[in-house]
Amino acid sequence: MDPVFMGQVLVRLLPPLGLTMLVSLTALAIATPLGLALGALRAELSDKHPASRIIDAWVFFVRGTPILIQIFAIYFLLPKLGLQPPLFVMGVGALVLNSAGYQIEIGRAAVQSVPRGQWEAAAALGFDRHATLREFILPQAARRMVGPVMNELSQLIKASSVLSVITLFELHKAAEAISSANLRFSEVIVVEGFLYFVFIFGISLIASALERRLSAAGALAGAGSFAR
Residue 141 forms part of a structural domain: no
Burial of 35 (0-12, 13-18, 19+ CB in 10 A): buried
pLDDT of residue 224: 52
Domain count, the chain: 1
The number of residues in the chain equals 228
H-helix segments, the chain: 3-44, 50-64, 67-80, 87-113, 116-124, 129-132, 138-159, 171-182, 185-223
CATH of the domain at 38: 1.10.3720.10
pLDDT at 120: 77
Does the residue 140 lie in any domain?
Answer: no
Residue 154 counted as domain residue: yes
Quote the domain boundaries for residue 162: 3-134+146-223
Residue 211: phi and psi, rounded to 5, are -60, -45
- Considering the domain boundaries, does residue 186 fall inside one? yes
Q: What is d(CA 223, CA 118) in angstroms, rounded to the nearest whole number?
A: 12
C-alpha–C-alpha distance, residues 203 and 75, integer Å: 29
Task: Classify residue 211 by burial, with Cβ atoms within 10 Å: 0-12, 13-18, 19+.
Answer: middle
Let me know: does 35 contact 104? Beta carbons within 8 Å: yes
Residue 71 lies in a domain: yes
Whole-number pLDDT of residue 218: 59
228 belongs to a structural domain: no
29 lies in some domain: yes
Answer yes or no: is 104 within a domain.
yes
Rounded distance between C-alpha atoms, residue 101 and residue 60, angstroms = 8
Q: At what angle do helices 138-159 and 185-223 cross, to 10 degrees?
A: 180
Residue 85 — left, alpha, or beta (φ > 0 → left; ψ -120 to 50 → alpha)? Answer: beta
For residue range 64-82, list pLDDT tens digits in order. Answer: 999 999 999 999 998 888 8
Dmax of the chain from CA atoms? 71
Angle at 211 between CA 107 and CA 14, to 5 degrees: 95
Residues of the chain with pLDDT under 70: 215-228
